[in-house]
Structure 1
Amino acid sequence: MDITIHGLDGLGASLRGAWHRTMDTSPQYANPFLAPEFAAGVARHRGGAQVAVLREEGEPVGFFPYERNAFGVGRAIGLGLSDCQALVHRPGVTWNAHELLRACGLSVFEFDHLVEEQQPFGGYVTGTFASPVLDLKAGEESYAEWLRGAYPGLAKTTLKKERRLSRDVGELRFVYDERDPKVLRTLMRWKSAQYRRTGRMDRFARPWIVDLVDDLFQVREEHFTGVLSVVYAGDRPVAAHFGPSSSTVFAAWFTAYDPELGYYSPGLLMHLRMARSAARDGVRLMDMGRGEKEYKDWLKTRELRVGEGFATRPHPVAAAHRLWRRPVRGLRNTVLAHPGLREPADRLLKTVGTLRTRKR
C-alpha cells in the first residue's frame, strides 16, 4: 500500500473524481460529511487539514481526511461538527492503522462519529453509540396522506398544529432548498440564542464556523449540496434547517425555530416536511446524527452505530493526549447515558444559560 499526503485546498479534479467514485462503491460512505467538498470547506477555514491518499498499483483506492497540529495530534476532519467519519475506501481494500498514522505523521487520531465498518480502528474504539436514521420512500401522494401513512401516531397532532399555525400566524409554506442567505443568518441567530438558553457552547460565536456554513451554503455538487430548508407562516420564517446532502443521504445538522412559536412544535414540523421533500428529491436516507432526542425516537426507522476513541502509536504525545481527553469524554458519556444524571445536568445548564442570557 502506497500512501501520499495532500493538501485539500489544491486537490486536483482527478483525485476528487476518484474520491467521489470511491464513495459511490459502498453505501456506508455515501454520507456528505465524507465528501471532499466538506473536507475542503474545513480546510479553507482551519489550519492543518490534509488528506492521505491510499494507492494500489498506482490507482487511488482510499481517502483519509484529517486535521493535524504541530505536535502530531490528529483529529477527524471537522471534529465536533462532522456526524460521520471514516477512511473512505473501495470494497476489499485492506489497510493498517499504524502504517496510516505513521504516513500521516500522527501520534494519535481522535474520532467521535466513526463508521462502524472501519475495522482497522476497531481496537481503538472506547465506546459505540446509536445514530438514528430515517429510511425514506418517495411517493406522489399529498403531504397529509404521506404523513398519515408514515407516522399514523403523529399525524393527527401534527396536522392539527399546522392548521392552528396557519390560522394564528399565516398560511403555511415549506421551501426545501431556500437560496436566500438572509434566512441562513436568521437560522444562525436562532441557533445561537438556543445554545445560550440551554447553557451549551455557542458554535456560531466562533467566526470560522459561521464562515464554514456560509461557504458550504454555496456548494452545489452531486456528492455535497448545502441545503437550507425553511417553514414559513405567511412571509414569516418559523423554523429552518441547514445541512448537507449527497445524492442519496441527507444529514440533519443545524435546526432552530422562532422561540416565540415553540407551542406549535415547529422543529418537528420542519423535520417531517424535510423528510418528505428529501425523499421526493431522490434521497433515500436521512441521518439524524448521534445523540438522544425525543423527536429522533419518533422519526427513526433504525439506528446505525458510530464509534469514538483514539487511535495511537507509541509516543509520549499520544499518551498525554489520551490522559487529557479521555476522562472528559468518559464523564460526558456517563451523564448522557443515565437519565438520572442527564436531567439534572440539563436543568443546571439551562439555569446557567438563563443567567448568561440575562447578562447580555
Structure 2
Amino acid sequence: MGRGVEVESRAVAELSPAERALWAQFRAANPALYSPYFDLRYIEAAARVAPGAAVAVIRRHREVAAFLPFQRRGGLLQPLAAPLTDYHGLIAPAGAEIDLRQVVEQLGARRFRFNGLMDGAADRGEGAVSRPAMIADLSEGYDAYLEGRKAAGQWSAVRDKQRCLRQLTKAHGPARLTWSRDPEVLRTLMDGKRDQMRRTGQHDVFSTPWTRELLEALLAIEAPDFGLRVALLEVEGRQIAAEVGLLSGETYHFWFPIYDRDFARFSPGALLSFETLKALAEQGVRHADFGPGAESYKKLFADPGPEVLEGDIHVDPLIAQIRRLVQETSAVHPPIGRRLASVYERIERRLDRIAACEPTLEGQIGAVGRSLGALGLRHRKLTLSLGAGLSLAGAGLLLTE
C-alpha cells in the first residue's frame, strides 16, 4: 500500500455525496464489481441492521483510493453482513493494489476473514484458496444460454430436468413461475431455510433478528434495477420451490433456495432455477450468478467466471501459534495432522459464521454449544477431536474482544 496511505473507519451513512459518486464511479469502471453485493444500496441496507457495520475509507496522498465495507466483532473484521454476503472486497479502480494487511492494522484489528474476496489486494493472506464464481450467461437470450449448456457438456443433465418437468406436468398439471413481494412469503421461505439448516447441522443464520431484517429491508426497496426478488414455482396452487435472489442492474444473484421434499423426485429446485433463468433473460438480465464454488449442481446451470478467494489475513501471534502447532503436528504425524487440520478448518468456518450472526459473547457461547451438540450427534467419533479443536480455535477465532 505504501507511504502516504491513511485508513479511516466511518459509518456508511456518513459517506459524503462526493464519496458516494466516487463509489459508483469505481464500480462502473471495474468489471470485478459486477455483483449486487457491491451496489451501494445493498451496503446501505446492510449497514442499517448489521451490528458493528462500518466502511474503511482508504486514502492515498489524501485522495480516496478505495473503500472496504466490513463489520467488526471485537478484534475480528468480516465482510459487511457476513455470513449472508457471498462476495466482497475493495471498491476500487481495476488494477488498484491495496495491502489489506496494512488496512487491518490501521483499523486496529487482529484478523480479517474473507470467503468471497474479489482478488485485487496486494496481500492475499496465508493459504488463501481460490474458487470460481459460477456465472450463467444470458446476454444472448435463453435459447443461446441452453446452447451454451450443451457446449459445456451438460446437455444430458438438462434433458433430464426437462423430463422431470414433463413428468411433473403429467402428474400435477402445468408448473407456473410467479414473483412475490409479499413479506409473509419471504418469512415462510426463511422459516423453511431455518428448518433445512437445523436438519443438516448447519448454524441457523436466521436465528438472529438482524439477518431477517436485512432480507425484509431489501424486499421493501421498490426499484426496477435493484432489490430482493422471490421466485416461486407452483403447481395446482401449491408452492413446491422458492428462491430468494438479488438484482442489481443487469446481474442477478441466486441466493437462498428451498423446495417441498414431497416433490423431490421432480427436482423442483432445479426446475425453478431454469424457469427463473428464462424469465430473467426475457427481462434483460445479462448474467446470473450462482455464487462461488464449482459444485456439480452449479455446473448444470453455470460456467466458471472470476476467481474469488477464501482465507484470512491476521496480525495476531496467537492465531499464528495455533496454526504453526497444526502444521508441526502434520509434519510429525501426518494422519493425525491431517485429521486435526480438517477439524480445525471446519470449526474455524463454523465459529466465523457464529461470530458473524451473533455479535455478543453470550450469543456466541450459546450458539457454539448448540453447534457442537449437533456435530456430536452427527459425528460421534469426532467429539473428542472437536472439543480439542474448539479449545484451540475458540481462543483465537471466536473470543475476539
Structure 1 length-normalised TM: 0.79
CA contact (8 A) 1:224 1:245 kept: yes
Q: 1:153-172 to 2 correspondence within 5 Å?
A: 153-172=156-175
- Equivalent of residue 63 in structure 1, options 61, 67, 70: 67
Alpha-carbon distance in structure 2 between the residues aligned to 1:61 and 1:226: 30
Unaligned runs of 5+ in 2: 327-339, 348-373, 380-401
Distance 1:350 1:160, change over 3 A: farther
Report what 1:76 is aligned to: 79
Residues 136 and 145, structure 2, Cα contact 8 Å, conserved in 1: no
For the structure 1 residues 350 and 274, does the alpha-carbon distance in structure 2 shift closer, same or farther, using more than 3 Å as the test? Answer: farther
Q: In the alignment, what sits opposite 1:16? A: 20
1:114-263 maps to which residues of 2 (within 5 A)?
Answer: 114-115=117-118, 117-139=119-141, 147=146, 150-151=149-150, 152-175=155-178, 177-221=179-223, 224-263=226-265
After superposition, the Cα gap between the structure-2 partners of 1:320 and 1:230, relative to the gap in structure 1 and judged at 3 Å, is farther
| Pair 55,280 (structure 1): closer, same or farther in 2 beyond 3 Å | farther
Letter in 2 for 1:64: L
Report the CA distance shift for 1:320/1:286 in structure 2 as closer, same or farther (over 3 A): farther
Could you say if the C-alpha distance between residues 186 and 166 of structure 1 is closer, same or farther in structure 2, counting changes exceeding 3 Å? farther
Q: Would the aligned equivalents of 1:310 and 1:322 in 2 still touch at CA under 8 Å?
A: no
Structure 1 residue matching 2:8: 3-state secondary structure = strand
Tell me which residue corresponds to 2:42. 38
Say if 2:321 is the partner of 1:332: no
CA distance, structure 2, for counterparts of residue 221 and residue 56 of structure 1: 35
CA pair 140-160 structure 1, distance change in 2 beyond 3 A: closer
Q: Equivalences for 1:307-322 in 2 at 5 Å?
A: 307-313=309-315, 315-316=316-317, 319=320
Q: Which residue of 1 aligns with 2:359?
A: none
Confirm whether residue 100 of structure 1 aligns to residue 114 of structure 2: no
Report the RMSD for the aligned CA atoms in angstroms.
Answer: 3.5
Matched to 2:180, the amino acid is E
Normalising by structure 2, what TM-score? 0.72
Structure 1, unmatched stretches of 5+, are: 334-347, 354-360
